[in-house]
Amino acid sequence: MNSAKSPRQVATAATAAVRGYNAFLLLVAGLGGLLYGIDVGIIGGAVPYLQATSGLNASQLSFVVAAVLLGSVFSTLFAGLLADWMGRKPLMILSGCAFAVSIPVIALSHGYGPLFSGRLLQGASGGLIGVVVPLYLAECLAASSRGKGTAIFQWMLTLGIVAAALMGMYFSYRVDAVAKLGDTAALFRFRDHAWRSIFWVSLPPGVVFVLSSLLVAESPRWLFRRGEANRAYESLRRSRGPEQAALELEEMEEIARAARLKAGQRVLDSLLRRKYVIPFVLACVILFCNTATGVNSIIGYNTGILLQSGLSDLGAHWGYVVFTVVNFLATTIGIMLVDRKGRKFLLIIGTSGVIVALAGVALLFRVTEKRSVDCREAVQALVSPSQELSLHFDPAMARRLLAADGDASSGIDNSRASLAIIYSYGGFTAATSYVRSDDAAAAPIEITRAGSMPANRIEALFQDPFADLQAARTAPLVIEKALVGRVPDATHGWLVALGLYVFMAFYALGPGVVVWLALSELMPTRIRSNGMSIALVINQLVSTTLAAIFLPFVSKHGYSSMFFLFAGFTVVYFVVAAFFLPETKGKTLEEIEQHFEIQQASKSAS
């Protein structure tokens, strides 16, 4: 009996193997996106409990939130060099291991230093993942599925944010149940347990990502650049048919030959070469504008934003869950459209909706913020002789502050008021987070010199390079503003939530899906890894800066000013997408590179 397989059976088996491997690539991409999403979203549900139990001031809490972005800056800076030196696959394994290690460091931390360090390591893992996974996918997937495949990274990223929100929602219900017991000490302990548990639950995806990364092949483009054409072809064959693999290998060889045949001059793989400048600058601008929409800050501080807009703790957590689900669903739609409608179309539609939504939320906050009362003198009178302040903001204290300022009848309900204090020691200014008089379990506002001053000259340089640290160590505590405001009703809160849902829907539909494609597709092969690193460093620097200044900025200027700032940056994003971005749908990476070379040649000729 002849057991040999027919040619059709062999072809069918080969096709099935290719499909199976492509599905596995998408799984690994999805796990990478899931970790990145958890990096971004996990802090959203943890912040209210961390704020209530850690004793951190607004600046320190902002830096804990921003630390994950700061870690991304440092790791992103070297991610391209590491990806070129050690390969895409080993770097994916390393990034997963860093994430897995960061979780116990955070969950077991006590105090600002260990917490900041753990978040920094978590951010470093996210920075590596953000470079190497889209880079790996762009170099491994065929042009026909590259859009969908790279969008899976963003899709699972949004699922990671949803998962983080659901963790926060679960603990919000449990915190609410403990709060009903009326035991303040028990509530404090459980809030401390809640934020630590939220981080522990995010550990398993990191372990699974590491194990999955061990099973994929190395990038064919990386192997070809290392002179291993045979291995590159075998890697290509795992994700497409033999004809397509041979065609793409031939295109790589043509690009390499063209580079070697430049008239007698050494070809430098420099970002400053004229044919690389336009795609590089375009990618950098897109990455800058993408994070300047404020998306990471809005995700990280979402629960706090909704609390200040008028929702209860439980309502704010539910609002955040709905926010993340909107993100997930809109990303799903974007994935289905990105290879049909194209990258440019989705960016134009997405940025247009984002501008309208951000402006709407800013106006909603503006209506309530303009009614705030500055009770600076009344709070200054409460400062102790040791130049410290301990203030429990409850309805009685709200009434006292408003009466002392002569604004007892200002329309602010003392049983539903908010307070933020801007203060300084010498030239070093800081701000407290907003507290509400209707939160019976809220910890008192504590302002101390030790908790507000930079620990050394290096920290002082970053906080304020012109302030005198030595003089500030003996300077009195000065209350610059003490803004008592009206906490809006739940209707206002849900209107703000609706505006944020519109923002998230349009962001996810356009910029959220397209940004990773634009980053990996615009960069020519020779500069892709280093170019992506530099562009993402710009992205993470902007994101880190916005996250670090968010709480102090809104304490001083209000949420409305912050959202108007985000809207202004998005206008720039719209202009770039509409007038400068080329369409890359359905083109191989080599065809996109040739587009910019032809464009540069035509400009030189004219």
pLDDT exceeds 60 at position 407: no
Cβ neighbours of 110 (radius 10 Å): 9
pLDDT band at 267 (very low <50, low <70, confident <90, very high): very low
- Where is average pLDDT lowest: 10-14, 254-258, 567-571? 10-14
Residue predicted with more confidence, 592 or 96: 96
- Answer whether 442's CB lies under 8 Å from 179's CB: no
What pLDDT does 270 receive?
A: 53
pLDDT digits (tens, 9 = 90+) for 90-138: 898 998 899 889 888 888 888 778 888 888 898 888 888 877 887 787 7
pLDDT digits (tens, 9 = 90+) for 336-362: 787 677 778 888 999 999 999 999 999
543 within domain boundaries: no
Give the pLDDT confidence score for residue 511 in this predicted structure.
87
On whether the CB atoms of residues 77 and 536 are closer than 8 A, the answer is no
Q: Which range scores top for mean pLDDT: 103-107, 450-454, 458-462?
A: 103-107
Residue 323 falls within a domain, yes or no?
no
Does the reported pTM lie above 0.75?
no
pLDDT in tens, 187-244: 788 888 888 888 888 788 888 888 888 888 788 888 888 878 888 888 777 777 777 7
Question: Coil, helix or strand for 361?
Answer: helix
Cβ-based neighbour number of residue 458 at 10 Å: 9
Residue 418, strand partner residues = 436, 485
* pLDDT attached to residue 263: 39
Decide if 133 is inside a domain.
no
Q: Answer yes or no: is 44 within a domain.
A: no
- Of 130, 152, 131, nearest to 141 by C-alpha is 152
DSSP 374: E
How do residues 556-581 score in pLDDT, each as one tens digit? 778 888 999 999 999 999 998 888 77
pLDDT for residue 124? 87
Evaluate if residue 455 carries a pLDDT over 90.
Answer: no
Q: If 0-12 CB within 10 Å is exposed, 13-18 middle and 19+ buried, where does residue 207 land?
A: middle
Q: Is the pLDDT of residue 27 over 60?
A: yes
Task: Give the domain range for residue 377.
Answer: 373-490
Q: Which residues contact 355 (CB under 8 A, 6 or more apart)?
A: 567, 570, 571, 574
pLDDT in tens, 533-546: 677 677 777 877 78
Residue 262 is classified by DSSP as: S
Residue 96 lies in a domain: no
Burial of 211 per CB tally in 10 Å (0-12, 13-18, 19+) = exposed
Of the listed ranges 187-196, 286-295, 306-315, 433-442, the least confidently predicted one is 433-442
Pairing of strands 417-425, 445-447: unpaired
Spatial CA neighbour of 495 closest among 364, 308, 302, 305 = 364
**What's the pLDDT at 8?**
64
Q: In angstroms, rounded to a whole number, what is the distance separating the alpha carbons of residues 279 and 581?
A: 9
Most confident range (mean pLDDT) of 167-171, 185-189, 489-493 is 489-493
Establish if 432 belongs to a structural domain. yes
- Total of domains in the chain: 1
pLDDT at 251: 72
Residue 230 resides in a domain: no
Average pLDDT, the chain: 78
Under 8 Å between Cβ of 110 and 55: no
In a domain, 462, yes or no: yes
pLDDT at 494: 92
- Output b/e per residue, 234-251; b: 16+ Cβ within 10 A: ebbbbbbeeebbeebbeb
With beta carbons less than 8 A apart as the criterion, state whether 417 and 490 touch.
no
The model's confidence at residue 264, banded by pLDDT at 50, 70 and 90, is very low
Confidence of residue 500 (pLDDT cuts 50, 70, 90): very high
Q: What is the pLDDT of residue 359?
A: 95
